[in-house]
A and B are shown apart, each in its own frame.
Chain A
Amino acid sequence: MTSTVRVSDVTKAYGRVEAVRGASFALGQGELVALIGHNGAGKTTLMKLMLGLIRPTSGAIEVLGDNPAAGEFAGRRQLGYLPENVSFDPALTGRETQAFYARLKREPVAKALDLLDAVGLGAASRRRVSTYSKGMRQRLGLAQALLGAPRVLLLDEPTTGLDPELRQTFYDIIARLAAAGTTVLLSSHALTELEERAGRVIIMNRGIKVADGSIDELRRLARLPTRIRLKVAGLAPSEMPPWAPADATCRRLNGHIVEIDAAPERKIELLHRATAAGNAVEDVDVVPPTLDELYAHFLRQSEQAP
């Protein structure tokens, strides 16, 4: 797998604030990477560094063969960016704006205007941007980021302000692009949305990369318990089933649901015991640790490590 973006030991300091500290990673072709972290963790700063909008205090960055800090931009024809608070010239219409950006990327204007329909801006695209709602501006922002056939997409909180329908369309579009080889880096706070979609997650905490890997890898690393929920008939309200292991935490959720925190490698054993015991297990739910929980875990871990 060839990497399109390489970040090597990059630090960016604003005065005394170190927005990014010693971050290193490479993003490969066709990867869909979620960049998550608290407010001020350095997500936007990382993207700006990749675009050469700011220069690293130390370390090196390479994007599509360019060194953005030196002002190289040959590769940017194949790069799409959506800033977190996207804004456009209010006096121009959506179509005029899109056509302007298409010309800058030497893309056929007609094809660029089709993108406006793809993001559902159709009728509104003939109106001035100053009349747009927040979500409509975000849609126009997406349309310009998708111009051409981007090999790298940097999307800073792309789904804020989008309605549920377009959110779905948006994830479909980027999944298709990633499948075709585009590197997609997207920052977001909507962790539940990313869970099923991101092939890889990078977690930032106060400028430091604290975790990096697929969700499954992160789950293995975190060793957080999987929750097994069993619906068991014929148990007294506070009674625990006899087969519940003594060393695992068990809870009664309501009338007849028992929840057990199972260490990753004991999941199967527990299920065996539950079904073998003969109690009437009517239903089973296995809930692996969510991205929210993983995120909290890695944050806690990095705070404890000095």
Chain B
Amino acid sequence: MNILIIAAKEIHQAIRNRWVLAATLLLAGLALSLTFLGSAPTGNVGVRTLDVVVVSLSSLTIFLVPLIALLISHDAIVGEMERGTMLLLLSYPVARWQVLLGKFLGHLAVLAFATCLGYGAAVGALAATGSQIDSDSFLAFAAMVGSSVLLGAAFVAIGYLISALVRDRGTAAGICIGLWLLLVLIYDMALLGVLALDQGRSISAAALNAMLLANPTDAYRLINLTGFANVSTFAGMAGLAQTSSLTIPVLLSALLGWTLLPLGLAALAFSRREL
């Protein structure tokens, strides 16, 4: 009950602050432009456009959704403490973990709404312009939207953990930007570099899998680029898809773990905070 009350307030506030509007418009705008720019040259050669859209949208998601998630979450605890609103809230009959979970549900709802509506606009536009959409492609698309929300959940939880640990908002923002750069850009480049240097001598397939699971954005990428045969051919990942032992359930559990573990740690850190 307390959790829902806090979640509802968080959503209310996000609507008031135009966070919902901004995130939805941003995702819809980018999804629409990718859909039409991306499908123009391939439109006539028998390629199923939605599959192409899934590939390009999931690459976009990897950059954008973690960024939006960290933007709304890094402030959640330390920001409220700094503004002084947390003091009053915690004098009410609520447990700290309820506050955290309520905020999480609220922020996740905002993110899910923006993603579904924003990306849904792309499908709507495709359907409206007469592209045929078969059920395989639609399934891949729905999975892409669902896993995007899960990716967002992981980064919201990571943002909370940072927010619960640091002393002021500026530090939280700085660490979040650094983490975003690391997980979204640097990690894959470093991984490629290491693999190229190693030439398959000492890094086993198991070690590579572990390294891929250790980064939520890689887990997300693998779900969307290798999970569906129709998509993986366009993604140039068909080979990897057949050989990889990282099945969809494994990848999904990795993302789920990346959500629950930081969330649990954030609750622990928050429960010990003094304010």
Contacts and interface: CB of A to CB of B under 8 A. Distances in A.
Contacts of A77: 93
A85 B16 CA distance: 24
B236 interface: no
A1 interface: no
A83 B274 contact: no
B94 interface: yes
Contacts of B91: 51, 53, 76, 79, 81, 83
Contact of B17 (A48, A91, A144): A91
Most buried by A among B17, B90, B91, B94: B91
Contacts of A81: 88, 91
Contact of A92 (B16, B83, B92): B16
A87 B84 contact: yes
B33 interface: no
Contact of B271 (A71, A86, A144): A71
A144 B88 contact: yes
A91 B12 CA distance: 9
B275 interface: yes
Nearest to A79: B91
Nearest to A93: B16
Contacts of A71: 95-96, 271
Nearest to A104: B92
Contact of B84 (A51, A86, A92): A86
Interface string A49-64: 0011111000000000
Contact of B93 (A55, A85, A104): A104
B244 interface: no
Contacts of B95: 71, 73
Most buried by B among A76, A77, A85: A76
Nearest to A55: B274
B88 A104 contact: no
A100 B13 CA distance: 12
A73 B5 contact: no
Interface string A75-107: 011010101011111011000100011011100
A59 to B, nearest CB: 16
B221 to A, nearest CB: 36
B167 interface: no
A240 interface: no
B87 interface: yes
A54 B275 contact: yes
A74 interface: yes
B88 A83 contact: yes
A53 to B, nearest CB: 5
B5 A83 contact: no
B271 A92 contact: no
B93 A74 contact: yes
A89 B274 contact: no
Interface in B87-114: 87-88, 90-96
Nearest to A144: B88
A182 B88 CA distance: 20
B9 A51 contact: no
B253 interface: no
Given A53-B275, A71-B271, A83-B87, A104 B12 contact: no
B2 interface: yes
A226 B91 CA distance: 43
B84 A89 contact: no
Contacts of A87: 83-85, 88
A55 B275 CA distance: 10
Nearest to A91: B16
Given A53-B87, A71-B96, A83-B87, A91 B13 contact: yes
Contacts of A144: 88
Most buried by A among B85, B87, B92, B94: B92
Contacts of A104: 2, 5, 92-94
Given A53-B275, A87-B83, A92-B16, 7 more contacts: A51-B91, A54-B275, A71-B95, A71-B96, A83-B84, A87-B85, A89-B13
20 contacts: A48-B275, A52-B90, A53-B90, A53-B274, A54-B274, A71-B95, A71-B96, A71-B271, A76-B91, A76-B93, A79-B91, A81-B88, A83-B84, A83-B91, A86-B84, A91-B13, A92-B9, A103-B5, A104-B2, A141-B88
Interface of B: 2, 5, 9, 12-13, 16-17, 83-85, 87-88, 90-96, 271, 274-275
Q: Which 5 A-B residue pairs are closest in the complex by CB-CB distance?
A: A81-B91, A87-B84, A76-B93, A91-B16, A54-B274
